[in-house]
């Protein structure tokens, strides 16, 4: 089946989240992504969460749809095979994606001796090449000090900078490949995890708010900054988030709750126009005082019926078990998902790409490879090894 990136081949040297996610994003769009690991797996091969049998659910989740080869990278022959895979000929090949430090064999300048139009995309920690991970970047971003409702920092459990960087990696590789198609020139692209954080702070106005307005944002708990959004307890001990970014969304809340007179009186008492986004933020605590008892007297199911009928912008708080039980889109009812038998783990729900292309039939979700699963075929088809040579490499423990 033709897929958007079926003529692209990427070799991935990676660990942890960002680079594997970038590679998987492209693999699920049809690119042939070949993951090279040391024999026995890289440092993230056993990372939590684990299956009951001890296999990494994390590793399997981030490496779907790829091929795997394991090499003794501490040996000259293993490194030579890796270079041959990275710099293999072909119009859609010659692309390296990595978040590992450049070495004497994986540096872009060394690899271009084998293929001058090579594309290398390397994720760094900091711009100067020093180390950083999501957790160290996040603590320096300012976000933990405006998360929650206290002055103590609160780390978000979502590795947001790794995820954002992973998608930048996929975008950067496609841009570099387009440039190569147009000019015939390869290049090295570098991106720093810390720069992803800094760019995001700038893009969302956080930096300019401090520089121009001299405003240091305070922690607001679950309130939405600059508009109305707050969480509320229901009669059956659940919690919901209710949001009004636009005048229409605010009118829908008023209509759903039947509290028009109360909110009109609130506006008159405060001198604020509750149809204005900023005024709703200023009046957020007073609005919550009106909404809180109304929501607290109703169950989640009743709220769902009333809110959906009036097109209120809202959502229930859930743990992940509740999400899988209650949300039909977190199941095979959503065509993004399939139940896939992952080797070493067993059948479970797996997502494909969230991108849907109208002109292409959606393909099957493919599991992550077993470590080294494609070693023989990659040695044969790309490196050009004979069956006897492959046996020799195995016996010498250069490959596994």
Domain borders along the chain are 9-201+332-395, 239-316
Contacts (Cβ under 8 Å, ≥6 apart) of 365: 28, 64, 65, 337, 338, 340, 350, 351, 352
Nearest to 314 by CA among 233, 230, 257: 230
Position of tokens 């994390």? 58
Position of tokens 């909110």? 263
Q: Does residue 363 surpass a pLDDT of 90?
A: no
CATH of domain 9-201+332-395: 3.40.50.10540
> Which pLDDT score, from 0 to 100, does residue 355 have?
95
Q: Does residue 164 surpass a pLDDT of 70?
A: yes
Do residues 185 and 118 make contact, with C-beta atoms less than 8 angstroms apart? Answer: no
Average pLDDT over residues 265-286: 97
The two three-digit tokens of residue 224, written as one number: 């939405």
The span from the CA of 173 to the CA of 22, in Å, is 9
The two three-digit tokens of residue 181, written as one number: 């198609």
pLDDT in tens, 3-44: 999 999 999 999 999 999 999 999 999 999 999 999 999 999
Do residues 18 and 306 make contact, with C-beta atoms less than 8 angstroms apart? Answer: no
The span from the CA of 315 to the CA of 380, in Å, is 52
The span from the CA of 135 to the CA of 157, in Å, is 9
Beta strands per DSSP E along 125-209: 187-192
pLDDT in tens, 95-117: 999 999 999 999 999 999 999 99
> Which pLDDT score, from 0 to 100, does residue 362 have?
84
The span from the CA of 289 to the CA of 207, in Å, is 33
Q: Out of 216-220, 310-314, 347-351, 390-394, which region has the weakest mean confidence (pLDDT)?
A: 216-220
> Which pLDDT score, from 0 to 100, does residue 181 have?
97
Do residues 98 and 12 make contact, with C-beta atoms less than 8 angstroms apart? Answer: yes
> Which pLDDT score, from 0 to 100, does residue 2 have?
77
Contacts (Cβ under 8 Å, ≥6 apart) of 11: 33, 34, 36, 82, 85, 86, 95, 96, 97
How many angstroms from the chain centroid is the CA of residue 307? 30
Nearest to 245 by CA among 271, 216, 276, 209: 276
* pTM, entire model: 0.95
The span from the CA of 46 to the CA of 385, in Å, is 31
> Which pLDDT score, from 0 to 100, does residue 360 have?
87
> Which pLDDT score, from 0 to 100, does residue 1 have?
63
The span from the CA of 56 to the CA of 240, in Å, is 33
**Exposure string for 198-219, b = 16+ CB within 10 A, e = fewer:** bebbeeeebeeeeeeeeeeeeb
Catalytic residues: 162
The span from the CA of 318 to the CA of 311, in Å, is 20
> Which pLDDT score, from 0 to 100, does residue 374 have?
98
Do residues 398 and 81 make contact, with C-beta atoms less than 8 angstroms apart? Answer: yes
């Amino acid at each position: 089946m033709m897929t958007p990136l079926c003529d692209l081949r990427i070799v991935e040297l990676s660990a942890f989240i960002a680079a594997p996610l970038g590679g998987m994003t492209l693999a699920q769009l049809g690119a042939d992504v070949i993951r090279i690991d040391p024999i026995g797996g890289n440092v993230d091969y056993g990372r939590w969460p684990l299956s009951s049998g001890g296999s990494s659910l994390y590793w399997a989740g981030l490496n779907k749809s790829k091929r795997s080869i394991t090499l003794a990278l501490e040996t000259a022959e293993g490194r030579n095979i890796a270079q041959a895979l990275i710099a293999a000929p072909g119009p859609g090949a010659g692309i390296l994606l990595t978040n590992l430090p450049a070495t004497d064999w994986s540096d872009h300048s060394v690899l271009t001796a084998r293929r001058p139009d090579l594309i290398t995309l390397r994720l760094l920690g900091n711009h100067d090449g020093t180390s950083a991970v999501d957790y160290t970047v996040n603590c320096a971003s300012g976000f933990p000090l405006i998360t929650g409702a206290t002055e103590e920092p609160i780390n978000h459990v979502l590795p947001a900078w790794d995820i954002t960087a992973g998608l930048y990696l996929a975008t950067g590789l496609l841009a570099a490949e387009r440039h190569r198609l147009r000019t015939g020139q390869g290049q090295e692209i570098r991106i720093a995890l810390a720069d992803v954080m800094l760019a995001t702070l700038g893009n969302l106005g956080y930096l300019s708010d401090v520089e121009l307005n001299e405003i240091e944002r305070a922690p607001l708990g679950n309130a939405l900054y600059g508009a109305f959004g707050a969480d509320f307890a229901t009669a059956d001990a659940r919690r919901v988030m209710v949001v009004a970014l636009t005048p229409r969304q605010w009118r829908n809340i008023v209509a759903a709750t039947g509290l028009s007179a109360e909110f009109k009186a609130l506006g008159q008492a405060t001198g604020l126009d509750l149809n204005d986004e900023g005024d709703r933020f200023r009046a957020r605590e007073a609005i919550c005082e009106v909404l809180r008892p109304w929501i607290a007297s109703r169950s989640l199911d009743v709220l769902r019926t009333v809110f959906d009928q009036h097109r209120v912008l809202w959502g229930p708080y859930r743990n992940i078990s509740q999400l899988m039980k209650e949300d039909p889109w977190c199941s095979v009812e959503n065509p993004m998902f399939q139940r896939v038998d992952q080797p070493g783990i067993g059948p479970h729900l797996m997502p494909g790409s969230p991108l849907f292309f109208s002109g292409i039939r959606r393909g099957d979700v493919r599991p992550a490879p077993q470590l080294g699963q494609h070693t023989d075929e990659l040695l044969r088809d790309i490196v050009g090894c004979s069956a006897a040579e492959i046996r020799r490499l195995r016996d010498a423990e250069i490959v596994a």
